């Protein structure tokens, strides 16, 4: 696709897609080889894939959007350097490092563009399952596609949330469910629980394969931003535990607990 034939916004999004594909390709090479699991200062796992994928993304963003600030997980872990700006990228080079380490294929490369505290573009690539998700909030368009062995895009289709029924299918985590989330789930009319790793839970909501995903424990903004953009573009939303829309650029780039949903905003957690 010739970027010169696209609108500036579409060209930017296509550029983000290509960067995510490149980073995912390198991550997959490492995933299928031997790699060492290291620990960061907060005791969370990190691998060579996190660092090399992030380097590819940072280099790509510097060329694509020179001068736009980038908050990337591994760089921020080392420098704690933030930016006071209305426009910045949030990057999680490997979301679901725990899945990566445990050889579960549901890890993703996440890139999002934030403007005035809200995500407006999001790209999520899951290289081990050959799946790509993209959202443009301003254009109100979201799509998913498969990827080939040589990292080309095929079978591209628009995605959108589904209408919720009387009982809901809920996305839950392989690794991060906690007592607060479990207590909240007891408030809801649950039909099925669907487990998934990483930000794919937000993508499956956007794709109309579930109705709600609550996560009532802290995360970082790079964990949610790309999936949030895709879900918004597909017609859904993400709120915090008080019912306010989840925003970005907060101190330390940390999120409170959140609830992502499709067509029907769920009740808020009952305070104990």
Does 92 belong to an annotated binding site?
Answer: yes
73 assigned binding-site residue: yes
At residue 186, the pLDDT reads 93
Architecture of domain 8-158: 2-Layer Sandwich (3.30)
Do residues 235 and 269 touch, judged by C-beta distance below 8 A?
no
Give 10-residue mean pLDDT values along the chain (272 residues): 68 97 98 93 90 98 97 95 96 95 95 98 98 97 97 97 96 80 94 93 98 95 98 98 97 96 94 60
Residue 43's pLDDT is what?
Answer: 82
| Alpha-helical runs (H) found in the chain | 8-31, 48-64, 73-79, 97-101, 179-185, 200-206, 221-233
96 is in an annotated binding site: yes
Domain ranges within the chain, ordered by starting residue: 8-158, 168-261
Class of domain 168-261: alpha beta
Is 211 one of the annotated binding-site residues? no
User: Which pLDDT value is given to residue 42?
Assistant: 80
Cα–Cα distance for residue pair 130/220, rounded to 1 Å? 25
257 annotated binding-site participant: no
Distance, in Å, from the CA atom of 164 to the CA atom of 162, rounded to the nearest integer, reads 6
């Amino acid at each position: 696709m010739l970027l010169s034939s696209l609108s500036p916004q579409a060209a930017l999004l296509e550029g983000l897609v290509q960067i995510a594909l490149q980073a995912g390709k390198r991550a997959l090479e490492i995933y299928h080889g031997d790699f060492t699991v290291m620990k960061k200062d907060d005791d969370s796992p990190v691998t060579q894939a996190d660092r090399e994928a992030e380097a590819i993304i940072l280099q790509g963003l510097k060329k694509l959007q020179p001068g736009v600030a980038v908050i990337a997980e591994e760089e921020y872990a080392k420098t704690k350097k933030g930016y006071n700006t209305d426009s910045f990228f949030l990057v999680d080079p490997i979301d679901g490092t725990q899945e990566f380490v445990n050889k579960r294929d549901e890890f993703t490369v996440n890139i999002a563009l934030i403007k005035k505290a809200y995500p407006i573009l999001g790209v999520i690539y899951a290289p081990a399952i050959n799946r790509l998700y993209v959202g443009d909030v301003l254009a109100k368009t979201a799509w998913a596609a498969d990827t080939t062995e040589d990292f080309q895009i095929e079978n591209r289709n628009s995605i959108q949330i589904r209408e919720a029924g009387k009982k809901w299918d809920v996305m839950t985590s392989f690794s991060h469910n906690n007592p607060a989330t479990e207590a909240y789930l007891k408030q809801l009319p649950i039909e099925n629980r669907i487990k998934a790793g990483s930000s794919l839970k937000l993508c499956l909501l956007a794709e109309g394969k579930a109705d709600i995903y609550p996560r009532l424990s802290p995360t970082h903004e790079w964990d949610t931003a790309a999936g949030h953009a895709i879900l918004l573009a597909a017609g859904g939303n993400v709120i915090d535990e008080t019912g306010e829309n989840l925003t970005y650029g907060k101190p330390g780039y940390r999120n409170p607990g959140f609830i992502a949903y499709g067509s029907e905003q769920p009740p808020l957690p009952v305070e104990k």
